[in-house]
Amino acid sequence: MRILHTSDWHLGRRLMSVDMHEHHAEFLAWLLRTAQAEQVDLVVVAGDIFDRSQPSAESVDLLDRTLASFAAAGVRMLLIPGNHDHPVRIGYGRALFEQSGIHVRATVSDISAPVVLSDEAGPVACYGIPYLAPDAVMAQLEAERSHASVLDAAMQRVRADAAARGIDRIVVAAHAFVVGQ
């Protein structure tokens, strides 16, 4: 099974006075070619897709064209918002995208909705944990007000879901604040 992990695209970013749009477009075209050439089963984008929560129209258009290209090529993706992204904006259209193999996991309720892949050894459940700002999600996750607590509560959901599905191989992509071990 081949999973290609990427993150922190920061579409819309400017470096000093340099607009990075063309560089981003070149990178995303390269990423699709690489995913196809390597016969990747899933491309994971673990957050910070945009550089800011209210991206420019040009950046939104670039993401739209990119997702359409991956879907047309039959390359599955799992995307989650990062701390620079707005989860509602990243999650827009996710039900429609799902039908094309573009899996967006932008909310707490999405945590227990894996993308299930299979190979000769059986199923693999790939979970996406979006950036979890403690103040925004601690009540929904019944967690304390800390990054560690909300991430632990999210992982409890992942483990419970995988166990309920009878899947012992899991992959978790998260955009998280982690300290220590």
% pLDDT > 90, the chain? 88
Radius of gyration of the chain (CA): 16
Quickly list DSSP for the chain.
--EEEE----BT-EETTEE-HHHHHHHHHHHHHHHHHTT-SEEEEES--BSSSS--HHHHHHHHHHHHHHHHTT--EEEE--TTS-HHHHHTTHHHHHTTTEEE--SGGGGG-PEEEEETTEEEEEEEE----HHHHHHHHT--SSHHHHHHHHHHHHHHHHHHHT---EEEEE-------
Q: The tokens 């998280």 sit on which residue?
A: 176
What average pLDDT does the segment 46-56 reach?
Answer: 93
At 117-140, the pLDDT tens digits run: 999 999 999 999 999 999 999 999
pLDDT of 84: 92
Residue 181 clears pLDDT 70, i.e. is over it: no
Residue 38 neighbours by CB under 8 Å, 6+ apart = 2, 4
Contact, 159 vs 114, CB < 8 A? no
Return the HEC string of 25-73.
HHHHHHHHHHHHHCCCCEEEEECCCECCCCCCHHHHHHHHHHHHHHHHC
pLDDT of 89: 87
Residue 165 clears pLDDT 90, i.e. is over it: yes
pLDDT of 59: 95
Residue 180 neighbours by CB under 8 Å, 6+ apart = none
> Bigger pLDDT: 178 or 3?
3
